Amino acid sequence: MERAAYELVTLKGGAHSIRSVEHGETMHIGSGPGQEALELHIRQQRLAERAGEWQGSDPFVIWDIGLGPAGNAITAIEELGTIGTRVEIHSFEIDTAVLEFALRHSKELGYLDGWEGVIGQLLAEGVAFPRPNIQWRLHRGDFSRQTHAAPAPSVIFFDPYSPARNAEMWNLETFSSLWSAVSAPDAPPCTMTNYTRSTSVRVTMLLAGWFVGTGVPTGDKDVTTILSNRLHLLEKPLDQSWLSRVRSSTNASPLRGRNYERGPISPQDYARLKDRPQFA
């Protein structure tokens, strides 16, 4: 019998989540998909407030990188469904098998209950309209190897598998590609949230061009990471004390290529890091 790719697991608080058998990782392990989405992405990025204040003639754009079982996207839709602003959510996913698994277990997972029709339409047609003001698009394929046919975002949810299991999504090339999407002079202010606290990943983000700060705790993580294309949007930017610890870290080398390689930072990369504007 072929081994199942995913399985339901019960978290400490009683909520259900999904474990990838192939990657050996449980998604939203600390507090479940809906609660983690609220803590890490929705509230930290002040999503409803910023979308409600949006004055652009084009829609307010969210990039949902690593759609997975759609916990982040569904929570955002519930948060934004009563505002008047037009919203576009662009979800990127290499393999929708996990979402198809979640759809079959929507009752147990809870957060998908009632959204089965919308998810089915998204999977079948690549676009769905979960609320009158919200358009939700699915972009299939390997995000780290593609050009991204979506408008510049104001908000990014960054939620792929961990660097150890999915290094290509956390490397310098990917974060540089993301930076190019938000660094144009006419790009809107943008923030990106994710669950990592890795020194090497933060170094990679900084060298790609991003401003990087300390993010809120969620689940069993006491700290996460938030990025922006505007320094003033970060409440707790990484500072000189963090920079001084990088030099002595055994895991501070930026991630390059498609292999997860750990090691201390080189003198050349450290010199580049010190020259980043947020440490001026």
The C-alpha atoms of residue 210 and residue 215 are separated, in whole angstroms, by 14
Q: What pLDDT does residue 183 have?
A: 97
The C-alpha atoms of residue 110 and residue 23 are separated, in whole angstroms, by 24
Domain boundaries, the chain: 32-279
Q: What is the pLDDT of residues 85-115, one digit of tens each?
A: 999 999 999 999 999 999 999 998 888 999 9
Top pLDDT among 15 and 53 is at 53
Concatenate the DSSP letters of all residues of 139-184 into one string. Answer: EES-GGGS---SPPPSEEEE--S-TTT-GGGGSHHHHHHHHHHH-S
Q: Are 196 and 224 a contacting pair, CB within 8 Å?
A: yes
What percentage of the chain exceeds 90 in pLDDT? 79
For domain 32-279, the question of CATH label 3.10.25.10 is answered with no
How many other CB atoms are found less than 10 A from the CB of residue 107?
10
Q: How confident is the model at residue 29 (pLDDT cuts 50, 70, 90)?
A: low
Amino acid found at 107: K
Q: Say if residue 32's pLDDT is above 70.
A: no
Write phi, then psi, for 269 (nearest 5 degrees): -70, -35
Q: What pLDDT does residue 141 have?
A: 95
Q: What is the pLDDT of residues 187-246, one digit of tens each?
A: 999 999 999 999 999 999 999 999 999 999 987 889 999 999 999 999 999 999 999 999
